Homo-oligomer: A and B are copies of this chain.
Amino acid sequence: MGTRELGLPERVPATDGLPERVTIWEVGPRDGLQNEKSTVPVTVKLEFLDRLAAAGLTTLEATSFVHPKWVPQLADAEELLAGLNRRDGVRYPVLVPNERGLDRALAAGVSHIAVFGSATETFAKRNLNSSLDDQFAMFEPVVTRARAEGLDVRGYLSMCFGDPWEGPVSPEQVVRVGKRLLELGCSQLSLGDTIGVATAGQVERLVDTFTGQGIGVDALAVHFHDTYGQALTNTLAALRRGVSTVDSSAGGLGGCPYAESATGNLATEDLVWFLDGLGIEHGADLDALVSASAWMAERLGRPSPSRVVRALAG
């Protein structure tokens, strides 16, 4: 008999202050599939998204309106959004890098967008070929127009804990950049450990630095990579500080091309095993998620890096 039929994981709440409910911000269909070498057919993406929604996930980052020259894997953004089986109570945010991307997003009728920025000067320079000031000059018209159109805007911040050229990143630097994004009109910051180097004390310190400057935990989400095996431990540290939105990727799809290994996003299934064990509500069904990710892994022709998917679908 399998662990699931035996009632595992057992539900045992932690004794100290974890949130009663966590919002899982699923990034697999966008952040995961944008890194695939061969383009995934739009019909497969649509079925994957619908399987994840059917599994109970309520925030599905669907695609990106980045220029197809940079990310050909997501050149089908319009076709994908047109074909989406929109379910009640599910948000389908999309990534928008610039005004041209916003035009496309508005034409496609999206109601929730995200912009993607760097917390450090060096990564801004290397990844976006701009300074942090240039980055904000680019964001400003995007966020302002999006807000005027009634859209909700999330701000991603990458390299919040370590930068592949600078090394450690100070929490003050991250809060400075994060504040500018919130002042522009972002409703939430997703604090990314893009190269996966953070440990639990850093996570606590960064959240404390935000709250110490009057920015509440409700404005914060965390986005951890498992490159050094720390993603879920860092999540526990963030939850203990009251953060209740966690980014993850179904099946552990995706990763950062700047990281030193292929190990990427926190896997949604590993997060859900953890949340289920602690009795924290999230609305998703673990077995349906495992089944969706195992299906996707078959389409991609390689095993999922999620330990839970490997254990249960193996």
Give A contacts to B, CB under 8 Å. Answer: 1-3, 6-15, 161-162, 164-168, 195-202, 204-205, 208, 226-230, 232-233, 235-237, 259-263, 267, 270, 273-274, 276-279, 306-308, 310-312, 314
Contacts and interface: CB of A to CB of B under 8 A. Distances in A.
Contacts of A310: 261-263
Contacts of A7: 167-168
Which of A201, A226, A237, A267 gathers the greatest number of chain B CB atoms within 10 Å? Answer: A201
Contacts of A199: 9-10, 12, 273-274, 276-278
A311 B274 contact: no
A194 B223 CA distance: 29
A15 to B, nearest CB: 6
Contacts of A198: 9, 277
A149 to B, nearest CB: 40
Nearest to A232: B233
A164 B1 CA distance: 8
Which of A161, A202, A235, A276 gathers the greatest number of chain B CB atoms within 10 Å? Answer: A202
Which of A196, A202, A307 gathers the greatest number of chain B CB atoms within 10 Å? Answer: A307
Which of A199, A205, A306, A308 gathers the greatest number of chain B CB atoms within 10 Å? Answer: A199
Given A3-B162, A162-B10, A201 B15 contact: yes
